[in-house]
Structure 1
Amino acid sequence: MSTLIWPPIAPDELLQKQEDNIARELEWLLEALQDTLQSLKDGLQECADLLAPQDPGSTLVLSSLRSEQLKGYITRVGTRIMKGEISLRLPSIPVPRGQTAFRLAISNLPAASTLFLEQLATTRTLINACLDVVDATRWTGDRKNADFISGQMMLLHDNIQEARGALRGWTADQKAWHEDPVPGDAFQPPLPDHISFHLTISEAAILLNVRTLEPAYSTTGTNTPLSFVSSSSGQHSYTGFSLRDRLSAVLGGGRQVFHDEAHEVFQYKGQEVRVREKVRVESQDPSLMAAYAKLGALERNIAVARRALGVVMGKGLDDVEDG
C-alpha cells in the first residue's frame, strides 16, 4: 500500500510544507503546555500545603509489632516533631523503680533542641523551587521558545523526582543513624548516651529505630564492661545492662541478639559501639502518603508532556530522558 499526493508536489515544496506543519504543531503544543504548567502548579501547591506546618499537626501512634517493646506517640508539625512520649521495655534498659517501662518524653523547654526531619525539609525546598520554575516559565520566559520550555520542563521533572525520592527515603545523601545522633537535650529527662533514637522517612511513613548500645570492645582485661562517657558532663555511665546480663556474659552464656546490625561496629559520638538491641517501628502519616502519591502523578504527567514535546522537536526518547 502506498500513499500518493495529487497533484504531485515538488520535493522541495513537500519538505517546506512538512516543516510548516511541524512548526504549527509545535506552536499549538507550546500553547497547550501552558495549561499543563498551571495544572502542575495546582498539584505542587497541594503538596506544599500537605507538608506545611499547621496546628495541631499530625499525631502518629508508635507501636512495636506483636510486642510491648515500644509504645507511644509523636506529633509532627511541618518538618519538626513537637511532642511525643515513648515507653520502652527492653532487657538492656533498666526500668526505674515504681514504673513499668523506661519513658522517653520529647522536651518542651524553650532551650531544648528540636527533632527535625531533614527529608521533609528537602522535599519542601524542592517543591517550592518547582513552584518558582513554573512561575518563571509562564510569566518571565519566552513561552514560544521550544528549547526554553523543554529545559524548564526537564528541571521540573528532575526536582519532582528528587522531592519524591526524599519521601521514599534512603537516598544517597541521607545520613546513617550513627552519623547524625539526636541531641540528648531534645528529651526531658535527657536521652541517655547508650540509647540511640533515630527518626527517618521511608515510603512516606515515619520510621523510628531505637537502639541500645554497648562498647565495641566490652572488657578492659577484667570482667567489667567499658563505660560510656557523657559528652556533656564527662561522667561515666554504665550502659544499664542488668547484673544478670553481666554474670551471663562472664559465664559464657551471653544473651543472643537477633537483628541485622548485631555483628557490626559503628562510630557513634566518638566511640566505637555495637548495637545490643534494636526495635523498629513504622507509622503511616496520611499527609505524607497523600503528598507522595500526588508527586508520583505529577512526575508521570510531566514525563508525558516532555516526551510529546521531544517528539515534535525531533528528539528521540533517549534524548528526552537524558535531558
Structure 2
Amino acid sequence: MSLDIWPPVPAAELKVKEAETQMLIDLKARELRWITNETVQVCRDLKHGLEDCYALLAPIDPGSTLAVSTPRNERVKGTITRVGTRIVKASIALRLATMPPTTLTLSPSAAIHIHALDALHTHLNQSLDLLSVLLSHDTPPDPGSLAQTLTLLSESLSASAELLKCSNPGTHASPSWQLHSCPPDQFSPPLPPNLSVYLGLQDSCVVLCIRALEPVHAPVHLGTRLGLAIGTVRRLEHDEMDTVFSWDPSGCEDADSKRDSARHNPIWTPHHRSSNLEEVYVREKVPVDSPDPSLISLYSKLGFLSHMLAQARRNLAAVMGTDLEEKV
C-alpha cells in the first residue's frame, strides 16, 4: 500500500520539507535538553535551600526559648524551650479564675512532641530524599520523569507550608485537644485533675491552650446556681462554652522513639493510654501564642522555594507543550 500526495510535490521540494521537519524535531530535542539541564540546576538550588530549612528544625541545643504570657494580664506566664519538634522545658504559672494558682513544670525526663512539627520534619526529609535521588544520576533525567518528580516536590512543600499555617488549636473547630492533651505525669508535680494542656501550631507560632474542665454530671453548688440566676456570678464566655466534649484525661504517649519513625510516616497516630473518655464542659479556656523566630524564617524560606519551584515547573511544561495544573 502506498501513499500519494495530492497535488503532487516535486522531489526537490519534498526533500526541503523533510529537512525542515527534521530541523524542527532536532530543535525541539535541543530545547528539551536545555530546559532539562536548567531545571536540574534549579533542583540543586532547591536542595541547598531545603537543607537550610531542615537546619532550622534540627534538634540542636540549647534550642529556642519562647515566652508564654497572656497580654494585659498574668493568667498564664512563663517560658517553654523548643528543641527540634519537641518541647523539652516548660515552667508556666497559672492564675485562672476557676482553679487555685498553680505552676506547671515539665518533668526533666519528659518531652512534648508538637505533632505538626513532626509531620513537617517528615515532609522535609521526603523532599530532600526526592532531590537526592534525582541529582544522583550522571545523565539528565527524562523530561516526563522530571516533571512528575517536581509535582511530588511541589505537593510536599505545599503541605509543609500548610502545617505552619494550620488551624489554631484554641478554636472550637479543632477538637485535637480532646485526645492529644499532655499526659498529667509529664509534669512535676502531675497536672491537677480536669486540666487540659495542649500544644499546637498556628501562623509559625507555638500555641499553648489551657482548659479548665468540669465533668458534665458534676453537682453545682446551690450558691453558684443562685449567683448565676441573679447575676452576681458571671460565667466565663468563650467559643467552647455549653458544649459537651469527650475528653481523655490520661492524654497520649509521646515517646522519643517517634522521631525515628516519623521519617517514613507523616501521619502519626498517638498511642492512648486508656479508652476511658469522660464527658466534660470547658469552664475556662486560655490560648497563648508564642512566635518562634526559627519557624517564621522557615515559613519564609518555604515560600521562596515554592515560588522558585513553580517557575521551574511552568518553564518545563511550556517547552514540553503540556498543561500545568497548579493549586490556588
| Length-normalised TM-score, structure 1 | 0.80
1:285 aligned residue: 292
Residues 150 and 306 of structure 1 are in contact (CA less than 8 Å); yes or no, is this contact kept in structure 2? yes
1:63 aligned residue: 69
1:165 aligned residue: 162
1:23 aligned residue: 29
State yes or no: 1:88 paired with 2:94: yes
State yes or no: 1:143 paired with 2:119: no
State yes or no: 1:203 paired with 2:197: no
Structure 1, unpaired ranges of 5+: 1-7, 96-101, 225-245
Mapped to 2, the partners of 1:154 and 1:283 lie a distance apart of 34
Mapped to 2, the partners of 1:118 and 1:216 lie a distance apart of 29
Matched to 1:76, the amino acid is R
State the secondary structure of the residue aligned to 1:182: coil
Residue deviations 1:62-120 (CA, integer Å, cap 9, x gap):
1101111111000111111111111111111113xxxxxx2111111x3xx42111111
Displacement after TM superposition at 1:248 (Å): 2.1
Residue deviations 1:9-39 (CA, integer Å, cap 9, x gap):
9665544433322221111011111210110
Matched to 1:91, the amino acid is A
Residues 143 and 149 of structure 1 are in contact (CA less than 8 Å); yes or no, is this contact kept in structure 2? no
1:4 aligned residue: none
Residue deviations 1:228-260 (CA, integer Å, cap 9, x gap):
xxxxxxxxxxxxxxxxxx622255355322211
Mapped to 2, the partners of 1:175 and 1:295 lie a distance apart of 28
Against the structure 1 CA distance between its residues 175 and 276, is the aligned structure 2 distance closer, same or farther, given a 3 Å change threshold? closer
Mapped to 2, the partners of 1:76 and 1:210 lie a distance apart of 18
Displacement after TM superposition at 1:277 (Å): 0.5
| Length-normalised TM-score, structure 2 | 0.79
Mapped to 1, the partners of 2:71 and 2:107 lie a distance apart of 26
2:241 aligned residue: 262
Mapped to 2, the partners of 1:119 and 1:282 lie a distance apart of 15
Once the two structures are superposed, the pairs formed by residues 1-323 of structure 1 within 5 Å of their partners are: 13-95=19-101, 102-108=102-108, 110=109, 113-140=110-137, 143-170=140-167, 176-219=176-219, 223=220, 247-251=223-227, 252=229, 253=231, 254-269=233-248, 270-318=277-325, 321=326
Residues 82 and 89 of structure 2 are in contact (CA less than 8 Å); yes or no, is this contact kept in structure 1? yes
Structure 2, unpaired ranges of 5+: 1-12, 169-173, 249-276
Residues 142 and 148 of structure 1 are in contact (CA less than 8 Å); yes or no, is this contact kept in structure 2? no
Identity in percent: 36
Mapped to 2, the partners of 1:15 and 1:202 lie a distance apart of 57
Mapped to 2, the partners of 1:141 and 1:187 lie a distance apart of 53
Against the structure 1 CA distance between its residues 89 and 261, is the aligned structure 2 distance closer, same or farther, given a 3 Å change threshold? same
Displacement after TM superposition at 1:129 (Å): 1.2
State the secondary structure of the residue aligned to 1:198: strand
